[in-house]
Amino acid sequence: MNSAVIKTPLGNAILEGDEEGIVRFQLMDEEVSISPTPAPEFCEAIEQLEEYFAGHRKIFTLKLNPQGTEFQKKVWQALLTIPYGKTTSYMELSKTLGDPLAIRAVAAANGKNPLWIILPCHRVIGSDGSLTGYAGGLWRKKWLLEHEQQEKQQSLF
């Protein structure tokens, strides 16, 4: 398994994976040195993440290999159906998966998502519209949702 640390507008992030795909992408609170020359298998992922943060990419087309239970993988796959710039609630996600009573299990699986941003768990909010839990911190969730807003206000200065 190879890893790389890259710089993002939300802090440094670790990217891990191998020939089977990207296993983990997570933002870090602690300072870690940036990888000077990332492994070749990360070039496409780094390019797509840079495009996302620059506002030029809405969908990732990467080979992914997140590690988790079958239920977690089902939840993570469902995250890919949430369109860029939109949100859904944990309840709606549970209904999408066919079990509205699984809301807590869906929330727990969402919280274990190893591929932040790529599998857009930040697009899942509370039924009342509140910004509920995000492993990277609510300030990052807020930033990501604002970043993805369809109509960005242009600054005159």
> Is 43 considered catalytic here?
no
- pLDDT at position 57, please? 95
Q: Is the distance from CB of 55 to CB of 91 less than 8 angstroms?
A: no
**In this predicted model, what pLDDT tens digit does every residue of 107-122 receive, in sequence order?**
999 999 999 999 999 9
- pLDDT at position 27, please? 93
Catalytic residue among 121, 124, 125, 145: 121
**In this predicted model, what pLDDT tens digit does every residue of 60-78 receive, in sequence order?**
999 999 999 999 999 999 9
Query: What are the beta bridge partners of residue 78?
Result: none
For residues 151 and 143, the model is more confident at 143
Q: Is the distance from CB of 10 to CB of 143 less than 8 angstroms?
A: yes
Q: Which amino acid would we find at residue 29?
A: D
Averaged pLDDT, 13-33: 90
The third-level CATH classification (topology) of the domain covering 70-147 is Arc Repressor Mutant, subunit A (1.10.10)
% of the chain at pLDDT higher than 70: 95
CA-CA-CA-CA dihedral for 78, 83, 87, 90, to nearest 10:
-10
